[in-house]
Homo-oligomer: A and B are copies of this chain.
């Protein structure tokens, strides 16, 4: 992810998309497309932030935060993102789980 790794100071309620994935071996264009999608996501209406981490063995979690379910639906339907989704299914991901959740409350520390 980007320089700022924590999505901070968000005001509930808002929405989270939890994307958990296991990558296939090799890059096969993933790195470049991933950076592009990240940059594109930040420009979408209702995008609030994202947090992402992947271990060296290819297991990763990305959580993106959105103002509304409508904003999530619009991003999901975005033309370039749809290409990425299809390529992800065909090439990049061995398995993934996507969950859409409504954030009710949050706190931080220490």
Contact = CB atoms under 8 A, between A and B. Distances in A.
Contact of A108 (B5, B96, B108): B96
A63 interface: yes
Contacts of A105: 99-100
Category for how many chain A residues contact B: 35 or more
A104 interface: yes
A97 B48 CA distance: 15
Interface of A: 5-8, 12, 16, 18, 20, 22, 51-56, 59-61, 63, 69, 88-90, 93, 95-110
Given A52-B61, A90-B110, A97-B107, 20 more contacts: A6-B97, A7-B20, A7-B97, A8-B97, A16-B16, A20-B51, A51-B97, A53-B59, A54-B55, A55-B55, A56-B56, A89-B109, A89-B110, A93-B109, A93-B110, A96-B109, A98-B109, A100-B104, A101-B101, A101-B104
